[in-house]
Amino acid sequence: MSDVCGCSITLSASAKTAGMTIAARAALFSAARSGTGADHTTEAAALPWAERMAYFDRATGRLPQPWRTIVDWALTVTVAIAFVLVFEAEVAKPYRIPSSSMEPTLHCAKPGPECLGSFNDRIIANRLAYDFGSPKRGQIVVFKTTPAAAICGQGDGGNTFVKRLIGLPGDTVSERNGFIFINGKPLSEPYIDPAFRDHETGTWHVAAGHYFFLGDDRAFSCDSRRWGSVPRSNLIGPAAITYWPPSRWAWH
CA dist., res. 104 & res. 151, Å (int): 23
Same domain, 58 and 104: no
Please state, in angstroms and rounded to a whole number, the distance separating the CA atoms of residues 1 and 214.
66
155 assigned to some structural domain: yes
| Active-site choice (99, 100, 163, 224) | 163
123 and 169 co-located in one domain: yes
Q: Are residues 83 and 101 in the same domain?
A: no
Which letter does DSSP use for residue 145 in this model?
P
Model confidence at 64, in pLDDT bands (50, 70, 90)?
confident
Query: Domain holding 217: CATH number?
Result: 2.10.109.10
Q: Is the domain of 32 the same as that of 103?
A: no
Q: Is residue 56 part of a domain?
A: yes
Residue 107 has pLDDT above 70, yes or no: yes
In a domain, 7, yes or no: no
As for how many domains the chain has, the answer is 2
- Final residue before a domain boundary, out of 89, 115, 134: 89
Rounded Cα distance between 182 and 203, Å, is 10
Let me know whether 125 and 229 are in one domain: yes
- What is the domain extent for residue 25? 20-89
Considering the domain architecture, whether residues 101 and 70 belong to the same structural domain is answered as: no
Q: What is the mean pLDDT of residues 191-196?
A: 94
In a domain, 30, yes or no: yes
Tell me the Cα Rg of the chain: 29
Q: Verify that 219 and 240 share a domain, yes or no.
A: yes
pTM: 0.67
Residue 134 inside a domain? The answer is yes
- CA–CA separation, 157 vs 235, rounded Å? 15
Q: Is the bond into 94 cis (omega within 30 degrees of 0)?
A: no
Closest CA to 137 of 75, 76, 182: 182
- In degrees and rounded to multiples of 5, residue 234 shows phi and psi of -85, -10
The residue out of 32, 61, 89 marking a domain boundary is 89
pLDDT tier, 8 (very low <50, low <70, confident <90, very high otherwise):
very low
Segment 155-175 mean pLDDT? 90
Residue 252 is predicted with a pLDDT of 87
Q: Say if 3 falls within a structural domain.
A: no
What is the chain's mean pLDDT, rounded? Answer: 78
Q: Among 57, 89, 121, which residue terminates a domain?
A: 89
CA 231: distance to chain centroid?
Answer: 19
Looking at the fold, whether 70 and 124 belong to one and the same domain comes out as no
Assess whether 48 and 126 both reside in one domain: no
CA 220 distance to own-chain centroid? 28
Tell me, yes or no, whether 78 and 104 share the same domain: no
In the set 99, 100, 101, 229, the catalytic residue is: 101
Residue 109 and residue 191 in one domain: yes
Q: Length of the chain, please?
A: 252
The fraction of the chain above a pLDDT of 70, given in percent, is 63
Q: Is 101 a catalytic residue?
A: yes
pLDDT of residue 93: 83
For residue 243, the tally of other CB atoms under 10 A from its CB is 14
